[in-house]
Chain A
Amino acid sequence: MTQLRHADPLPPVTTPVAAPPEQPRTGWRARLSRAEVTWSPYLFIAPFFVIFAVFGLFPLVYTAWVSLHDWDISGAGAFVGLDNYVTLFNDPDFWNAVFNTLGMLVLATVPQLLMALVLASLLNQKLRGMTFLRMGVLLPIVTSVAAVGIVFSQIFDRDAGMVNGLLGLVNVDAVDWRADKWSSWTAIATMVNWRWTGYNALIYLAAMQAVPRDLYEAATVDGAGKVRQFWSITVPNIRPAILFTVIMSTIAGMQLFTEPLIFGQGGFAISGGSLRQFQTVSMYMFEKAFRDFDYGYGSAVAWMIFLLITLLGVVNFLVSRRSR
């Protein structure tokens, strides 16, 4: 998520140089300078659109094309129209993966954003070592996903894991974390939460600092306590930031891949557990395309992920508009 913020620096705002007015120029020069005024802004934003077309739009359209074929390792086969999608709608493994993804999305997003809110409001106080604390919450994002996955997989290991060790201290039986949906989702959501809570907290913190102080002073004069101030002033005022984090977390959550893959064990880890307890849609896409070598079907799954994210984005948008 971090690379986003610097991915597309705005092109420098340059005022197009107007042609010197004093002497009338020949026709082509005037036309050139008019053209420059008209077209140069497009030129400035072109790099983004060119890159987007090559790395975003083309793969998207091409994937749609592939998904309409019986496409395997040897290349394009017969055109099969929407057959892949029909199969997909009747594929219990696909819907299982959708269910898993949404489940982990809820488990990872809701607590994460609530914790981030609380953390941000704490960081918004006058504390000692402020910079240190604010930098501290960012540290988890610096850690590579793979490292997080490996360490947490050991923490949640059945035989030698730390969590089972702690549970043992209070006489709770060891949990086989990979064997059930609830336990595997919890373990994976923990990884996501650990990594992203601080990032969201910083976004909230930045938004909170833009809330005018006098609102709080007026509320204090009116006798509102800290908690009341938080819910009635802070949260409504940082609504755009909250919406942003919800959408970002939704997109990231729908594409959850690395954490559950590393959490899974053995040679068939991509199946996400013996009964696909924690296989996400991205994992299912990868399994179909790159293990079963059914590229057409894998592409259909990829397009369904895209549609699901779009759908969830629209829902987010409508909900936030209605509650405005």
Chain B
Amino acid sequence: MVVRQRRALLATTLGAVVALSACGGAAESSSGDTTLVVKTFSQFGYDELYAEYEASHPGIKIKEENIGKLGDYLPKLQQWLATGKGAGDVVAIEEGILSQFVAKPGQFVNLLDHGAAELKPNFLEWKWEQASTPDGSKVVGLGTDVGAQGMCYRTDLFAQAGLPTDREEVGKLWPTWDAYLATGKRFKEAGTGAGWYDSSGGLYQNILMQQGDHTYYDTSNKLVIDSNPGVRKAWDQTIEMVKAGLSANIEQWSPQWNAGFKNGTFATIPCPSWMLGTIEKQAGPENKGKWDVARVPGEGAVRGGSFLAVPTQSKHQKEAAELVKFLTSAKGQTAAFKSKNNFPSSPQAIDDPAVQGYTNPFFNDAPVGKIFGESVKALKPVYLGPDNNPIGDRVGNALLAVEQGKLQPDEAWAKAVDDAKRLVK
């Protein structure tokens, strides 16, 4: 009986979960080199930069540990920080969770102590401020990319449906989201069997980020999900699309979604710049040239974007801070852009002809530097409050329930608002 109990206790106990998963972390290589462990999610495109840095810094080895989904990465990151072990030397932080770290900056090295102050002109001003404490005395992380928006589409499905395939003309099809909806209806009538877009959650997120300077929270961190007209507008716009039957109902980041890029299950997907790397990876080389990028409907806005930070638990804080400065430099950002299209947050990199003139061979040589660059120029920073991501998850679930036919739009909206209020309370 004791044995059985022990197992029950073990597995039901949070402490045990933490104890089990906290293994693994910074490793010291046997040769006496310093190994810096970099934790990332999705695609950061740093492989060549690591090689270059290792070559110019003898005695430094870099090991990247990547987790595919941001949703899987976040709980891990929290565990590493809470247990004081496993976060390695450099961690990537997505903008949606950054604000809670800025509010409690103690877990990260203040990069101002490592000479970051002089780098301020190297970043878009709001990007720098996002990672600074309000009094400006601490900087938690340095910006990597900004999620400039675009709209990716399948040229072969567009051709089948009798729509133009040239990206200039495609962009003219949808100056607004209403026009995007109308084009979707045309596409659906053509009967290709594919969905117009992948899932309502992602589409909603893109529309939402175009609705002004804040979303679920106002800048004093008060929850305004039900009083901010922008949120409701994005929701209603998305519901129109669901009602028209345009969604392929495939959840983002699911295996079916990954396969959808290959199989052409959906014709368009709102794609922030950082998503291009994912699309290329999932669609595979055999689909080279079938995907293309056009301008996004509506006003350009940011969706996503990340920072690099050095956790205080790192044993090599100085070396790690140097690496962060290198990776987030204009040169580093340009290289990451060329590798995975993560769009730079450094004005110097954005104006770099290498970025402006860059065309992506996988996407029919689309001039992604120019397309995303235009979107970034129109960019206004959007303030995201402390529980932005969990609230976004709940609104996404409510939209999914509408797609599944389980809730009426009004019921789903009420549920999303109620869930958000219960979460924040």
Docked CA distance A73–B201 (Å): 28
The interface stretch among A56-64, A127-135, A201-209, A226-234 is A56-64
Q: Which of B16, B17, B406 contacts A274 (CB 8 A)?
A: B406
**Chain B residues in 8 Å Cβ range of A274:** 397-398, 400-401, 404, 406
**Chain A residues in 8 Å Cβ range of B405:** 179
**Chain A residues in 8 Å Cβ range of B104:** 73-74
Q: Is the Cβ of A289 less than 8 Å from the Cβ of B14? A: yes
Would A266 and B78 be within 8 Å (CB), given that A66-B14, A305-B12 are in contact? no
Q: Which residues of B (395-425) have their CB < 8 Å from a CB of A?
A: 396-398, 400-401, 404-407, 423
Q: Is the Cβ of B13 less than 8 Å from the Cβ of A266? A: no
Q: Is the Cβ of A275 less than 8 Å from the Cβ of B256? A: no
Q: Let me know if A302 is at the binding interface, CB within 8 A.
A: yes
* A74: nearest chain-B partner, CB-CB: B104
Chain A nearest CB from B416 CB (Å) reads 11
Q: Let me know if B23 is at the binding interface, CB within 8 A.
A: no
The interface stretch among A27-35, A139-147, A191-199, A290-298 is A290-298
Q: Is the Cβ of B82 less than 8 Å from the Cβ of A255? A: no
Q: Is the Cβ of A266 less than 8 Å from the Cβ of B253? A: yes
Chain B nearest CB from A82 CB (Å) reads 17
Q: Which residues of A (279-324) have their CB < 8 Å from a CB of B?
A: 282, 285-286, 289-293, 295, 298-299, 302, 305-306, 309
Q: Which of B14, B398, B407 contacts A285 (CB 8 A)?
A: B14
Docked CA distance A275–B405 (Å): 11
Q: Let me know if A217 is at the binding interface, CB within 8 A.
A: no
**Chain A residues in 8 Å Cβ range of B9:** 56-57, 59-60, 306
Q: Let me know if B69 is at the binding interface, CB within 8 A.
A: yes
Q: Let me know if A79 is at the binding interface, CB within 8 A.
A: no
Q: Which of A154, A295, A302 contacts B12 (CB 8 A)?
A: A302
**Chain A residues in 8 Å Cβ range of B397:** 268, 271, 274-275
Q: Which residues of A (243-271) have their CB < 8 Å from a CB of B?
A: 247-248, 251, 255, 265-271
Sort chain B's interface into a size bin: 35 or more
Docked CA distance A291–B78 (Å): 8
Q: Is the Cβ of B256 less than 8 Å from the Cβ of A159? A: yes
Docked CA distance A57–B7 (Å): 11
Q: Let me know if B115 is at the binding interface, CB within 8 A.
A: no
**Chain B residues in 8 Å Cβ range of A74:** 104, 106-107
Would A56 and B10 be within 8 Å (CB), given that A159-B256, A268-B396, A292-B390 are in contact? yes
**Chain B residues in 8 Å Cβ range of A251:** 4, 7-8
Q: Which of A8, A59, A157, A268 contacts B3 (CB 8 A)?
A: A8
Q: Is the Cβ of B82 less than 8 Å from the Cβ of A295? A: yes
**Chain A residues in 8 Å Cβ range of B27:** none
Q: Is the Cβ of B257 less than 8 Å from the Cβ of A55? A: no
Number of A-B contacts (CB under 8 A): 133
Q: Is the Cβ of A73 less than 8 Å from the Cβ of B82? A: yes
Q: Which residues of B (6-43) have their CB < 8 Å from a CB of A?
A: 6-17, 19
Q: Let me know if A7 is at the binding interface, CB within 8 A.
A: yes
Q: Is the Cβ of A255 less than 8 Å from the Cβ of B11? A: yes
Q: Is the Cβ of A59 less than 8 Å from the Cβ of B254? A: no
Q: Is the Cβ of B404 less than 8 Å from the Cβ of A269? A: no
Q: Which of B15, B396, B423 contacts A59 (CB 8 A)?
A: B15
Q: Let me know if A210 is at the binding interface, CB within 8 A.
A: no
Q: Is the Cβ of A266 less than 8 Å from the Cβ of B12? A: no
Q: Is the Cβ of B75 less than 8 Å from the Cβ of A255? A: no
Q: Let me know if A170 is at the binding interface, CB within 8 A.
A: no
Would A267 and B78 be within 8 Å (CB), given that A63-B13, A251-B7, A255-B12 are in contact? no
Q: Which of B14, B19, B201, B265 contacts A299 (CB 8 A)?
A: B14
Docked CA distance A57–B193 (Å): 57
Docked CA distance A60–B6 (Å): 10
Q: Is the Cβ of B14 less than 8 Å from the Cβ of A302? A: yes
Q: Is the Cβ of B6 less than 8 Å from the Cβ of A52? A: yes
Docked CA distance A264–B307 (Å): 29
Q: Let me know if A218 is at the binding interface, CB within 8 A.
A: no
Chain A nearest CB from B71 CB (Å) reads 3
Docked CA distance A192–B391 (Å): 32
Would A309 and B12 be within 8 Å (CB), given that A159-B256, A267-B71 are in contact? yes
Would A266 and B4 be within 8 Å (CB), given that A73-B104, A275-B407 are in contact? no
Docked CA distance A116–B397 (Å): 38
Q: Is the Cβ of A266 less than 8 Å from the Cβ of B390? A: no
Docked CA distance A268–B106 (Å): 28
Q: Is the Cβ of B4 less than 8 Å from the Cβ of A63? A: no
* A57: nearest chain-B partner, CB-CB: B9
Q: Is the Cβ of A4 less than 8 Å from the Cβ of B12? A: no
Docked CA distance A158–B254 (Å): 13
Would A63 and B257 be within 8 Å (CB), given that A56-B6, A251-B4, A309-B8 are in contact? no
Q: Is the Cβ of B78 less than 8 Å from the Cβ of A290? A: yes
Docked CA distance A270–B9 (Å): 22
* A277: nearest chain-B partner, CB-CB: B406
Chain B nearest CB from A223 CB (Å) reads 41
* A64: nearest chain-B partner, CB-CB: B13
Would A271 and B7 be within 8 Å (CB), given that A63-B15, A291-B74 are in contact? no
Docked CA distance A166–B252 (Å): 27
**Chain A residues in 8 Å Cβ range of B398:** 274
* A255: nearest chain-B partner, CB-CB: B11
Known: A157-B256, A267-B70, A293-B78. 4 other contacts (CB 8 A): A60-B9, A73-B104, A159-B256, A306-B8
Instruction: Give the top 7 A-B pairs by smallest Cβ distance, nearest first.
Output: A59-B15, A267-B71, A266-B251, A265-B254, A290-B75, A274-B400, A59-B13
28 pairs from A and B in contact (CB 8 Å cutoff): A55-B16, A56-B6, A57-B9, A62-B15, A63-B13, A63-B14, A66-B14, A73-B104, A159-B256, A255-B8, A265-B251, A265-B254, A266-B71, A266-B252, A266-B254, A266-B257, A267-B69, A267-B71, A267-B252, A268-B71, A274-B404, A285-B14, A293-B78, A298-B14, A302-B13, A305-B12, A306-B8, A309-B8
